[in-house]
Structure 1
Amino acid sequence: MAKEKSKNTVSIGDVFAVSLPDGRYGAIKVANQIDNSYLIITTPYIGTEIPSIENELLGEILRQNRFFYNNDKALIWVDGKVPKEVIYIGNIPLSSNERKIRCNAFGDKWDKTVGMVVFLEWRWEYDRENFEKEIQEEERRIEEQYRKRSQKPKKMMKDETFWSIISLLNFNDENDEEEILEPAINALAKMSVKDIKEFEEALSYKLYLLDTKEHAQNIGEYSYDEETQGYFSADLFLYFRCSVIAEGKECFELTIKNPQNMPKDNSFEPLLSLASEAYTKRTGKDFEYITGCDYESFSNVEGWG
Structure 2
Amino acid sequence: MDSQKSKTKKTAAIGDIYAVILPNGEFGAIRILHKIDSSYLLATTPYIGTDIPSIENEILKEVLIQNRFFYDNDRALVWVDGKVPKDVIYIGNIPLSEKERKIKCHSFHEKWDNSTGIEAFLEWRWENDRENFEREIREEEERYKKFNTIQKPKKRMEDDSFWSIISLLNFNAECEEEIIEPAVDQLAKKSVRDIKQFEEALAYKLYLLDTKEHAKNIGKYSYDEKQNYFSADLFLYFRCSVLAKGKEFFESTLVNPKNMPKDGPFEPLLSIASDAYKRRTGKEFEYITGCDYESFSNVEGWK
**TM bracket, shorter-chain basis:** 0.5 to 0.7
1:70 matched residue in structure 2? 25
1:165 matched residue in structure 2? 165
Distance 1:136 1:261 in 2: 28
Unaligned runs of 5+ in 2: 3-20, 28-84, 89-132
Q: Determine whether 1:176 maps to 2:159.
A: no
Letter in 2 for 1:159: D
Letter in 2 for 1:152: K
Change (3 A) 1:200 1:244: same
Q: CA deviation at 1:156?
A: 0.3
Distance 1:198 1:140 in 2: 29
Matches of residues 40-59 of structure 1 in structure 2 within 5 Å? none
1:104 matched residue in structure 2? 87
After superposition, give the CA deviation of every residue in 1:155-196 in whole Å (9 maximum; x if it has no partner): 000000000000000111x43111111110010000000000
Of stretches 284-293 and 228-237 in structure 1, the one that deviates more from structure 2 is 228-237
TM score, norm. by length of structure 1: 0.55
Matches of residues 129-168 of structure 1 in structure 2 within 5 Å? 143=144, 146-148=147-149, 150-168=150-168
Letter in 2 for 1:244: V
Distance 2:138 2:258 in 1: 35
Matches of residues 1-305 of structure 1 in structure 2 within 5 Å? 68-71=23-26, 104=87, 143=144, 146-148=147-149, 150-172=150-172, 174-226=173-225, 228-305=226-303
After superposition, give the CA deviation of every residue in 1:130-171 in whole Å (9 maximum; x if it has no partner): xx9xx99995785356313x4110000000000000000011
Q: CA deviation at 1:230?
A: 3.6
1:108 matched residue in structure 2? none
1:112 matched residue in structure 2? none
Letter in 2 for 1:195: D
Letter in 2 for 1:242: C
Distance 2:269 2:296 in 1: 19
Count of residue pairs the alignment pairs up: 187
- Match of 2:154, SS state, is coil
Unaligned runs of 5+ in 1: 1-30, 32-63, 73-101, 106-131
- Match of 2:262, SS state, is coil
Measured on the aligned residues, the alpha-carbon RMSD in Å equals 3.2
Distance 1:296 1:103 in 2: 29
Letter in 2 for 1:211: D
Letter in 2 for 1:146: F
Distance 1:137 1:262 in 2: 24
Letter in 2 for 1:218: N
Q: CA deviation at 1:69?
A: 2.4
Identity of aligned residues (%): 67
Letter in 1 for 2:155: K
Distance 2:141 2:245 in 1: 35
Q: CA deviation at 1:103?
A: 5.2
1:17 matched residue in structure 2? none
Letter in 2 for 1:216: A
Change (3 A) 1:263 1:136: closer
After superposition, give the CA deviation of every residue in 1:41-70 in whole Å (9 maximum; x if it has no partner): xxxxxxxxxxxxxxxxxxxxxxx98xx323
After superposition, give the CA deviation of every residue in 1:245-264 in whole Å (9 maximum; x if it has no partner): 00000000000010000000
- Match of 1:300, SS state, is coil
Change (3 A) 1:294 1:268: same
Letter in 2 for 1:193: V
Higher alpha-carbon Rg = 1
After superposition, give the CA deviation of every residue in 1:66-117 in whole Å (9 maximum; x if it has no partner): xx32337xxxxxxxxxxxxxxxxxxxxxxxxxxxxx9539xxxxxxxxxxxx
Distance 1:265 1:137 in 2: 24
